[in-house]
Amino acid sequence: MLSILFFTVLAILVTGAALVANLPRAARLALLIMAPLLLVTGLLIGSSVVIAADRTGIVTKHFGGNMPPGHIVARAGEQGPQAQLLGPGWHFGFIPFLYEVEEVPVAIIEHGQLGFVTAKDGGALADGETFARPWGTVVDMLDPVTFLTKDGQRGPQVTVLTPGTYRYNPVLHSITNIDVLNVAPGTVAVITARTGTLPKTGPEAPAADANAVNGTSLVAQGERGIWREPMKPGAYYLNTNAFSPTIIKTAQRVYTYQQAAARTAAKAAAAGQDWSVTVRTKDGFSFPIDVRVACAVEASNAPYLVALLGDPDRMVKDDQEDENLELLEAKVILPAVRAIFRNVAETMNALEFVNARSLVEKAANDRMKIELAKVRVTCDGVFLGNIHLDASEAGRKLIATQTDREVAVNEQTLYTEQRKAQESRSSFVKAQEDAEQQRNLAKATYEVLVKEQGAKARAAEAKGEADYQTITGDGRAKAYEAMVKALGRDQVAQLELLKLVAEGKIQITPQVMVGGGGNGIDALVGTILHQSVQQLNKEKP
């Protein structure tokens, strides 16, 4: 629009110059005074440009010297794209037929992204370098004048743009938006730097590194090579073109090897061969087993593993498994599992292997820890699952034989236990009978002793009674004799009779009838004897 206005004013001035001769003198004088003013105004208006706030002006010069070979942006006013950038607002002096100003949008880097910059002009990269030297600030890098006069290098730039808005010259720089590096929890990022200072070599090199892989040491951050310190979970504004990240899982890995599904119809009939882990015992039996391996890669060991294998989580084709497996699994885990269990199996018979599963599992676990430690992988455990001895006809026959043997042994054990139980029961009954007889014998012996003691007691009592009666009788006889001598027989008898009557021990009515012969003494003696017999009858038990 401003260019059109400029040429319109210029055409009016030319036309007016042609008509000025026909004008009155006063009109000619006024026109001569106004013509320069109109010319200056036209030049100012026609050579001005207005740049919007979200745009950048790129200037191209149509006249001037040629740029040196290899240059695409003019540094000293040569014709062609100029290094100068026009910001928002009015700019004057860009005469349309001398200059062309193009408006281009600013670069916008969204949140979660960064800008990767490539320079199309500048100095050449040094030998062996694939990225330009880093810049102190992105402002200096994106300013064409500063970039071209401060030894900016052509090619990919190490310095990246963080989220924001940037003015740049698309003739000099191209900007590509890439995602920031996000390291998720349970992972780390191992960085392989394609640029940076070279590690020291020769006499100045550090002592042999324990983390060296095939003679190549891990390097410090900022050096070229694999950094020995991985990047922990988080978000990083890292130029992933210059610093290539390899994401390594540090969470526990579990690899399970069980019966594989038939992969093709042709293999379906030979399902016994579609197993990940098959062992052969020393007695010639081959059979598959189920195995589960738990392991983990510690963050500090991740760089070593990357140096050894590259990306251990990269999927590769395993010809034996006929499927895609992680590189770590295909090259380390599965071969180690197969070798370890086969080495253990070759020292045992099939039934020994089955019956000693806990010992087999422990031996495999110990050996796996040693093998994985060689590649800096921590073994959390090896677990032996089902042992499929019945996967083959020979194995099934062996199991059947073993089962029959165990049944026979169990039956024999049962019979032995039953016999022992019967013998124990017989011994118990005999012991009960013996105990009963012992009780009866003890009772009889005791009764004999009681009777013997009773007899002895009664004998002693009878003897005592006899002795008592003898002594009493002798005493009474002597007393009677003395009384008879003193009083006479009749008086003594009468005296005793009166005593007994007084004591109430005899009845006054005679119970003894005395016949015609004899005398009174005979009746008294009979009464006394009758009383004595009654007394003895009362004392008997």
| pLDDT, tens digit (0-9, with 9 covering 90-100), for 467-496 | 777 888 777 777 777 777 777 777 777 777
Which carries the bigger pLDDT value, residue 289 or residue 514? 289
What is the four-CA torsion angle of 446, 452, 454, 456, rounded to 10 degrees? -150
- pLDDT for the residue numbered 269: 36
CB-based contacts of 464, cutoff 8 Å, min separation 6: none
27 located within any domain: no
Whole-angstrom Cα distance, residue 479 to residue 291?
A: 124
Whole-angstrom Cα distance, residue 276 to residue 112?
A: 43
160 & 197 share domain = no
Given a cut of 60, whether residue 99 has pLDDT beyond it is yes
Range of the domain at 356: 253-260+273-391
The DSSP secondary structure of 381-412, one letter per residue, reads: EEEEEEE-GGGSHHHHHHHHHHHHHHHHHHHH
103 & 150 share domain = yes
Given a cut of 90, whether residue 406 has pLDDT beyond it is no
498 & 425 share domain = no
Most confident of 14-23, 126-135, 208-217, 265-274: 126-135
- pLDDT for the residue numbered 265: 32
9 located within any domain: no
76 located within any domain: yes
Whole-angstrom Cα distance, residue 213 to residue 207?
A: 14
Residue 27, φ and ψ in degrees, nearest 5: -70, -40
Percentage of residues of the chain with pLDDT beyond 70: 79
Given a cut of 50, whether residue 52 has pLDDT beyond it is yes
Q: Give this prediction's pTM.
A: 0.65
447 located within any domain: yes
| pLDDT, tens digit (0-9, with 9 covering 90-100), for 29-38 | 666 666 666 6
The domain boundary, picked from 391, 414, 443, lies at 391
The domain boundary, picked from 345, 366, 391, lies at 391
367 located within any domain: yes
531 located within any domain: yes
Least confident of 105-114, 213-222, 270-279, 294-303: 270-279
Which carries the bigger pLDDT value, residue 470 or residue 254? 254
Whole-angstrom Cα distance, residue 62 to residue 97?
A: 7
23 located within any domain: no
Q: 3-state SS of 189-239? A: EEEEECCCECCCCHHHCCCCCCCCECCECCECCCECEEECCCECCEEECCC
Given a cut of 50, whether residue 509 has pLDDT beyond it is yes
Which carries the bigger pLDDT value, residue 226 or residue 461? 226
**What letter does residue 333 receive in the DSSP assignment?**
I
452 located within any domain: yes
Given a cut of 80, whether residue 103 has pLDDT beyond it is yes
- pLDDT for the residue numbered 520: 55
54 & 164 share domain = yes
Q: What is the mean pLDDT of residues 187-211?
A: 77
Structural domains in the chain (count): 5
| pLDDT, tens digit (0-9, with 9 covering 90-100), for 113-139 | 999 999 999 999 999 899 999 999 999
- Inter-CA distances, 104 with 59, 171, 172, 428, Å: 11, 11, 13, 113
The domain boundary, picked from 155, 177, 199, lies at 177
Percentage of residues of the chain with pLDDT beyond 90: 47
Provide the token pair at 160.
Answer: 């990246």
Whole-angstrom Cα distance, residue 115 to residue 165?
A: 10
430 & 324 share domain = no
CB-based contacts of 389, cutoff 8 Å, min separation 6: 285, 287, 350, 354, 395, 398, 399
Given a cut of 60, whether residue 394 has pLDDT beyond it is yes
114 & 136 share domain = yes
Helix (H) or strand (E) holding 305: helix 302-309
CB 122 within 8 A of CB 153: yes
63 & 105 share domain = yes
Q: What is the mean pLDDT of the chain?
A: 82
